[in-house]
A and B are shown apart, each in its own frame.
Chain A
């Protein structure tokens, strides 16, 4: 696979959130403000790129029976260190992100790419794939967070954009945007906007997840 396609496919055609259904939980929960979304995207991108590279480098040595736990150990260690870095250098933001940074460990995107791609490709290709998926994921999060923060608080990155009615302006913040369901609707509409004519391929979802089957007897199967 050439670099260009590795980098560009996850943006639209194979977008982690809208097509692969990976990494949804954080896409919904941290997008109430743009700055928290950006921080999580940065943290996730670092973890995704590093874990893909490490797992790809070790792919010849990871036995099939224990590969899930080995991958998870590597990912978890990276997440802990990123969390520690966040707490040490970006203290205020880390307070808000607490549980969700830890949840990057179970973010299906990181494990999904490790299993579906990094285990079969070279380090360079895995890095390109990780970068592509990070960008695709971040793009969706940024769009959702921008809409939610703008309409929900009238601000962007904490800076007021619309003058609020409580301060003599015209804008009445839409509290609904800061709540749970709005994120679902925005992503649903985003999915529609991304492929308005093509029927979504239902089978593509199961294909991604079948790669993680492990038969208790040790051999993996489809």
Chain B
């Protein structure tokens, strides 16, 4: 068989290369050095473009979000020109953070910086369902009409099945009715978990309620959801990703996320 000849040949030709310790060390070091240079150069050259793509995607996602939801875009058009405000919120207190400018704040870098974030432990909840770290500050985008809050757009993220999900949660003026949920980034299983991005599934979230009549946070994704405004139907075959979305929404509208902020806003006591 031809392969035997090949392998015989391989033994011959590799014996041509001296196999002493010096040769081994020299050759491996040389290859390592050249590879390192090659990879580092590529990383340095390509990183800015990648970073630009990522931030372009995130900025575009806000514009896409507004365009894709008719009620949102008509509201934006009907209100004053500068009515979509970005505020930086201190999550624990629910108040505006004034020391840092919202424009310069990047939540993703802050999340990894021990001085601008904190770790979430098992005391905070089920480790599987939560992020590992949470930034102390987060941006929110609020739509005002004549100083009345009309809508809040909250950036939310959380672990899915095999990647981190990023989405926008759009709340109506009562900060309990959901206008829309829009998943913008994920790396879930193509064709299965990735269906959380389908407009058809996301449409389910419109007109659902975060809170029930007594003010309890009840919204969740379940299999075979009923018709109440507190349940969203999970994607069949993509339960884990769907639950990831559920956990994400519940976390960020709960006490560890924007909960304190939303409570203050609902009571009409923004600070």
Contacts and interface: CB of A to CB of B under 8 A. Distances in A.
Direct chain A–B contact by Cβ atoms under 8 Å: yes
Interface of A: 30, 32-33, 36, 59-67, 69-70, 73-74, 76-77, 80-81, 84-85, 87-89, 91, 95-96, 98-99, 115-117, 119-120, 149, 152-153, 166, 175, 178-179, 204, 207-208, 210-211, 218-220, 222
A89 B45 CA distance: 13
Given A65-B19, A89-B49, 5 more contacts: A61-B17, A64-B15, A69-B28, A116-B10, A178-B237
B31 A73 contact: yes
B187 interface: yes
A73 B32 CA distance: 7
B39 A88 contact: no
Interface of B: 1, 3-4, 6-7, 9-11, 13-20, 23-24, 27-28, 31-32, 35-36, 38-39, 42-43, 46-47, 49-50, 53-54, 57, 162-163, 185-187, 189-192, 194, 200, 236-237
B15 to A, nearest CB: 7
A10 to B, nearest CB: 13
Contacts of B32: 73
Given A64-B17, A91-B50, A96 B28 contact: no
Given A77-B35, A88-B46, A211 B10 contact: yes
B35 A73 contact: yes
A65 B13 contact: no
A119 B10 contact: yes
A63 B186 contact: no
22 contacts: A30-B190, A32-B191, A33-B191, A63-B14, A63-B23, A63-B27, A66-B28, A73-B31, A76-B35, A77-B39, A87-B53, A88-B53, A91-B54, A91-B57, A96-B187, A96-B194, A98-B163, A98-B187, A116-B7, A116-B10, A207-B3, A210-B7
B192 A178 contact: yes
Specify the main secondary structure of chain B where it touches its partner.
helix
A95 B187 contact: yes
Given A33-B190, A77-B38, A175 B17 contact: no
Contact of B42 (A80, A95, A210): A80
A63 to B, nearest CB: 5
B7 A222 contact: yes
A60 B1 contact: no
A119 B7 CA distance: 9
Contact of B14 (A62, A87, A179): A62
A95 B17 contact: no
A36 to B, nearest CB: 6
A30 B189 CA distance: 9
A63 B192 contact: no
A87 B24 contact: no
Contacts of B189: 32
B50 A88 contact: yes
B190 A32 contact: yes
Nearest to A153: B191
Contacts of B19: 63-65, 218-219
Given A65-B19, A98-B187, A211-B10, A87 B50 contact: yes
Given A63-B18, A117-B6, A207 B1 contact: yes
A81 B3 CA distance: 32
A119 B218 CA distance: 63
B191 A178 contact: yes
B34 to A, nearest CB: 8
A36 B191 CA distance: 11
Given A32-B190, A84-B43, A85-B46, A179 B3 contact: no
A30 B1 CA distance: 33
Contacts of B16: 60
Contacts of A98: 163, 187
Contacts of B46: 84-85, 87-88
A65 B26 CA distance: 13
Contacts of B17: 60-64
B14 A64 contact: yes
Contacts of A69: 28
B23 to A, nearest CB: 5
Contact of A152 (B6, B27, B53, B191): B191
A74 B91 CA distance: 47
User: Which 3 pairs from chain A and chain B are nearest by CB?
Assistant: A77-B35, A32-B191, A178-B191
Contact of B6 (A66, A85, A116): A116
Contacts of B42: 80-81, 84-85
